[in-house]
Amino acid sequence: MLSISPIYCSVLIVLIIFLAYRVTVFRREEKIGLGDSESSKAMKSAIRAHANAIENIPVALILLVMLELNHLTPWLLHAFGLVLVVGRGAHAWGLSKKNGPSPGRYYGTLFTWLCIALMAFVNVLLVASR
C-alpha cells in the first residue's frame, strides 16, 4: 500500500487545479475564450505557469510512485516529494510575478529537473540491484 507518494501527488494536483483556476479567472476577466493572442501579459504568464506544471508534474509523480513501489527509504521519498513541491511552487510563483527570468523560475526549474533526473537514476539503480 502506498502511504507517502499519495501525499505529494495530492498537493501537486491541488497546485495544478489552482493554476488552472487562475487561467479561468483571467479568461473571464479578459473575455478570451480560446488562445492568448490578445490577452494581457499576466494571462499569458498564468497560461504558461499552468502548462509548465502539466509538462513536469506528471512525469515527476510517476517516478515518485515507482520509487515507493520499489521500496525506497521513506525519508528519501519525503525528500523527493518536498523538493518537487517547493520547486513547482517556486516556479509557479516566479512565473506569475514576472514575465522574464526570475529567481523563482530559475530555482524552481533547477530543483524540479534535478529531482526528476535523480529519481530516474535511483529507479534504475533499484531495479538493477535486484
Would you list the domain boundaries of the chain? 5-128
Q: What is the identity of the amino acid at 129?
A: S
Chain segment 100-116, per-residue pLDDT in tens:
789 999 999 999 999 99
Chain segment 1-28, per-residue pLDDT in tens:
999 999 999 999 999 999 999 999 988 9
Domain made up of 5-128: CATH architecture: Up-down Bundle (1.20)
Q: Look at residue 39 in the predicted model and tell me its pLDDT.
A: 81
Does 5 or 32 have the greater pLDDT score?
5
Residues 123, 130 contacting (CB under 8 angstroms): no
Distance of alpha carbon 35 from alpha carbon 51, whole angstroms: 13
Chain segment 50-89, per-residue pLDDT in tens:
999 999 999 999 999 999 999 999 999 999 999 999 999 9
Mean pLDDT across 25-43: 82
Q: Look at residue 90 in the predicted model and tell me its pLDDT.
A: 97
- Residue 40 banded pLDDT, cuts 50, 70, 90: confident
